[in-house]
């Protein structure tokens, strides 16, 4: 899945994106509040300034991702890698 496709579907009010592959995607400064990215591959993704409040990131792979200034208030980050 591309970042553009994810954003289009999220804008259409879809929230469930389990096990999606978003390697090296640029999701910087996006509002992704309440999104479910359970098991997502976000390796090397750009998440600078991204709003992930109340998101579900169980088992997401965040290896090498740039998370500077991201918001994860009340997000579920249980068992994310690293």
Contact between 1 and 27 under an 8 Å Cβ cutoff? The reply is no
pLDDT tens for residues 5-33?
999 999 999 999 999 999 999 999 999 99
Count: domains in the chain: 1
pTM across the whole model: 0.91
Ordered DSSP codes for 21-73: B-TT-B-TT-B-TT-B-TT-B-TT-B-TT-B-TT-B-TT-B-TT-B-TT-B-T
Domain CATH for 61? 2.160.20.80
Range of the domain at 9: 1-82
């Amino acid at each position: 899945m591309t970042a553009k496709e994810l954003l289009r579907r999220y804008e259409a009010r879809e929230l469930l994106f389990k096990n999606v592959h978003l390697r090296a995607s640029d999701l910087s400064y996006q509002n992704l509040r309440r999104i479910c990215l359970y098991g997502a591959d976000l390796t090397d993704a750009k998440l600078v300034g991204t709003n992930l409040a109340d998101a579900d990131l169980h088992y997401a792979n965040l290896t090498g991702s740039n998370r500077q200034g991201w918001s994860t208030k009340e997000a579920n980050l249980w068992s994310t890698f690293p």
